[in-house]
């Protein structure tokens, strides 16, 4: 069974339709998200919140790197979705829940 072109290789479609500007914008947005999660991790007071934020940043970076690497032929094709962009309900739901939990932990960092 092979991955679907329109779902797993969504970065190809973005690059084809939007060109360099669209591809650069997607890369810049994901790197901004990972940097922002790292900044949030640094300001956490509890060890659990800090570790959770670093792990979340790592998950987003790995998904981002592997999906774009699959598109460019740098890594093997394993079907990892591009967060918040690839078609798929379970991936979108799980990434949204992870971000929601991080926002909740960040909101309560002074209640220790």
Q: Which long-range contacts (CB under 8 A, 24 or more apart) does 85-89 make?
A: 85/10, 85/11, 85/14, 85/26, 86/7, 86/8, 86/10, 87/6, 87/7, 87/10, 88/7
pLDDT of residue 38: 96
pLDDT-flagged residues of the chain (< 50): none
Which residue is associated with the tokens 């790592």?
58
pLDDT of residue 50: 95
pLDDT of residue 24: 95
pLDDT of residue 6: 58
């Amino acid at each position: 069974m092979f991955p679907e072109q329109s779902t797993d290789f969504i970065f190809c479609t973005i690059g084809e339709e939007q060109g360099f500007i669209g591809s650069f914008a997607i890369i810049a947005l994901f790197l901004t998200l990972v940097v922002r999660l790292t900044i949030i991790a640094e300001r956490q007071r509890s060890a659990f919140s800090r570790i959770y934020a670093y792990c979340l940043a790592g998950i987003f970076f790995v998904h981002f790197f592997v999906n774009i690497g699959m598109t460019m032929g740098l890594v093997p094709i394993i079907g990892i979705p591009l967060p918040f962009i690839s078609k798929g309900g379970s991936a979108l739901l799980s990434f949204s829940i992870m971000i929601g939990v991080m926002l909740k932990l960040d909101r309560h960092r002074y209640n220790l």
